């Protein structure tokens, strides 16, 4: 049974749509892009944020500007004893923040990497209350311009899809940026399912659904169907590691299978038992990412 808030929203949208499907579509897009509260919602999240404090304290905060806004990045230098290492761009998922990736940051820097962790618009230390894929791609572009590129890009959930969309140049006025290697953790492979699902949730009329999806064209110059990350990987000739849990209840494992079918440059690793959220702090997952990050170096040294 739908919640009272959803029922009320459905009724309101139905009334607006009767007069203007275009207005209803714009309203739904605003709801779709609204980011959740940044406050920890339970004891587990509060404990995770507290545990992240000493890790995040080692970072240098960097403000990155792009057309329409700015985001906060945390720059973790490579540890002095390790020497110059790989530069990694690390991005979190929807409703998360860099702090929740503290275990991964710790694992990557301990293995010699330099890490830049972004907080998306409306998340963590970045301002705003909305996030869209075009805004995420612009934030990635800002990081690329400031740091001069990355050897590896690692993204969880929405973050992984954003990295692929940036690599494919799917926002028309933003240049494509592809790291030499990519890691996608629990990432959706295309955006259409989200838009169709959201429209179904609010029982949009066909005209209102078309207006809802049409906002994407105005923001990016592309149709929703073109934001297909699996298709992008088919033409981006870099090694890609896809890590997913078959028990992921938020992003179906079918998305990982779509990625794996994109080409021989994509390697699929199942991390079953870790679900959608615990996967980013699981020690076996971090070890697998480190092995992938340094695979080329270790082959050359052999």
The domain that holds 150 is classified in CATH as: 3.40.50.1820
The answer as to whether 197 is a domain residue is no
pTM: 0.94
In the chain, the percentage of residues whose pLDDT exceeds 90 is 91
Q: Does 215 reside within a domain? A: no
Q: With a cut of 70, say whether residue 257 has pLDDT above it.
A: yes
Domain assignment of residue 41, yes or no: no
- What pLDDT does 64 receive? 98
Query: Domain count of the chain?
Result: 1
> Is residue 21 domain-resident?
no
CA distance 129 to 156: 20
Q: How many CB atoms lie within 10 A of CB 151?
A: 16
129 is a domain residue:
yes
Average pLDDT, the chain: 94
pLDDT tens per residue, range 5-34 = 899 999 999 999 999 999 999 999 999 999
In percent, the amount of the chain with pLDDT more than 70 equals 95
Express each pLDDT in 156-184 by its tens digit: 999 999 999 999 999 999 999 999 999 99
Residue range 242-262: mean pLDDT, rounded: 97
Residue 140 maps to a domain: yes
> Within a domain: residue 231?
yes
The Cα–Cα gap between 213 and 199 comes to 9
Q: What is the mean pLDDT of residues 54-80?
A: 93
Kindly state the average pLDDT of the residues 75-82.
76
Residue 302 in this model has a pLDDT that exceeds 50: no
Residue 84 tokens read as: 């110059």
pLDDT of residue 93: 98
Look at residue 69 and tell me if it is in a domain.
yes
How far is the C-alpha of 78 from the C-alpha of 58, rounded, in Å?
11
Mean pLDDT of 74-85: 76
The pLDDT-based confidence of 262 (bands split at 50, 70, 90) is: very high
- Spatial CB neighbours of 189, under 8 Å, sequence gap ≥ 6: 161, 228, 229, 230, 255, 256, 258, 259
Q: What is the domain extent for residue 115? A: 58-191+227-301
pLDDT band at 81 (very low <50, low <70, confident <90, very high): low
């Amino acid at each position: 049974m739908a919640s009272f808030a959803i029922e009320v929203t459905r009724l309101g949208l139905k009334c607006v749509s009767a007069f203007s499907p275009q207005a209803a579509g714009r309203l739904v897009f605003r709801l779709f892009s609204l980011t959740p509260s940044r406050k920890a919602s339970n004891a587990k999240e509060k404990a995770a944020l507290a545990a992240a404090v000493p890790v995040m304290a080692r970072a240098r905060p960097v403000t990155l500007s792009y057309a329409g806004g700015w985001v906060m990045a945390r720059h973790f230098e490579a540890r002095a004893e390790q020497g110059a290492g790989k530069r990694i761009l690390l991005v979190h998922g929807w409703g998360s923040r860099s702090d929740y990736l503290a275990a991964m940051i710790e694992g990557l820097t301990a293995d010699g990497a330099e890490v830049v962790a972004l907080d998306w618009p409306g998340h963590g230390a970045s301002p705003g209350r909305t996030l869209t894929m075009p805004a995420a791609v612009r934030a990635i572009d800002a990081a690329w311009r400031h740091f001069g590129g990355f050897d590896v890009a690692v993204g969880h959930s929405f973050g992984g899809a954003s990295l692929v969309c940036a690599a494919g140049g799917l926002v028309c006025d933003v240049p494509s940026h592809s790291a030499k290697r990519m890691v996608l953790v629990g990432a959706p492979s295309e955006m259409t399912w989200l838009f169709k699902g959201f429209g179904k949730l609010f029982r949009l009329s066909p005209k209102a659904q078309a207006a809802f999806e049409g906002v994407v064209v105005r923001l990016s110059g592309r149709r929703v169907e073109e934001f297909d990350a699996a298709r992008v990987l088919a033409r981006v000739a870099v090694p890609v590691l896809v890590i997913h849990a078959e028990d992921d209840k938020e992003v179906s494992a079918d998305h990982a299978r779509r990625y794996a079918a994109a080409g021989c440059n994509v390697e699929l690793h199942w991390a079953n038992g870790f679900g959608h959220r615990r996967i980013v702090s699981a020690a076996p997952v971090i070890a697998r990412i480190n092995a992938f990050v340094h695979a080329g170096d270790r082959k050359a040294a052999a």
